[in-house]
Amino acid sequence: MFPIRDSTPSGSVPIVTMGLIAINVIIWFYEISLGRYADRFVMEYGLIPARFVNYYGLEGGFLDNAVVPLFSSIFMHGGWMHVIGNMWFLWIFGDNVEDRLGHFRYLVFYLLSGIGASLVNVMFHPDSRIPTIGASGAISGILGAYLVSFPHSRVYTLFILFIFIRFIEVPAYVFLVVWFVFQFLAGTSELASHATDSAGVAYWAHMGGFAIGVILIWLFPKRSKFRQLPSDDGSDWS
């Protein structure tokens, strides 16, 4: 299932969401501008679990092998579909979470979700030497927050099953629960096969980010002027 739009309008301009999208896109274009040196850039600034765990024995120590990659990796991507898919999910779901939290708390929430998701991935794959990159963990946190905050919002979705293709409208909680179940099934299958990654997808980072988002949205206060707007007909799609 791929989301097209949701039915909950935002009561404020999502300036942080737009800024995050811009930063991710700029960094992606910088990556591809490096040409054959892009792999070196990814290896240096991506989060490599084995290097993170064994930072004490490496040049650069804790700062270069753990702290910097925790932040830099969540703004990097591995391909056009990776960055486009992530930014689309961020645009669809991020504006409402930003509206609920306020701009500054939303930025903190985003970073904590991304960092937490990366740490969960390290926990499940501590020996992996494959760099983990992408905003997926942070965006998964936004999905978790959206589930808690707007469960009955409607998501207009492109549904594809083999040759069956249709646009359908589903409650947000249905879309997000199905999304999480897919991540869980793929992640447990990955562990059962003793693979360190599945086609480059960090499913445990996704699940970790989602769970962290669910927890953090309960801990973070709503912004003082937040008022959830109604979404009772198709004219409210955002």
The per-residue pLDDT for range 155-203, each reduced to its tens digit, is: 998 888 777 788 889 999 999 999 999 999 988 887 776 655 544 678 8
Work out the widest C-alpha separation in the chain, in whole angstroms.
59
Domains of the chain, residue spans? 2-224
* Residue 47 phi, psi (nearest 5): -90, 110
How large is the C-alpha radius of gyration of the chain?
18
Query: How far apart (Å, rounded) are the C-alpha atoms in residues 28 and 115?
Result: 19
Closest C-alpha among 71, 55, 219 to residue 132? 71
**pLDDT at position 6 over 70:** yes
79 contacts 110 by C-beta, under 8 angstroms? no
Look over the chain and give the mean of its residue pLDDT values, rounded to a whole number.
88
The per-residue pLDDT for range 110-146, each reduced to its tens digit, is: 999 999 999 999 998 888 898 999 999 999 999 999 9
At 229 the pLDDT is 55
For the full predicted model, state whether its pTM sits above 0.85: yes
**pLDDT at position 27 over 50:** yes
At 235 the pLDDT is 34
Residue indicated by tokens 């760099």? 131
Question: Can you name the residues that pair with 154 across neighbouring β-strands?
Answer: 171
Topology of the domain covering 2-224? Rhomboid-like fold (1.20.1540)
**pLDDT at position 222 over 90:** no
* CA distance readout (Å), 26 to 19, 30, 31, 93: 10, 6, 9, 21
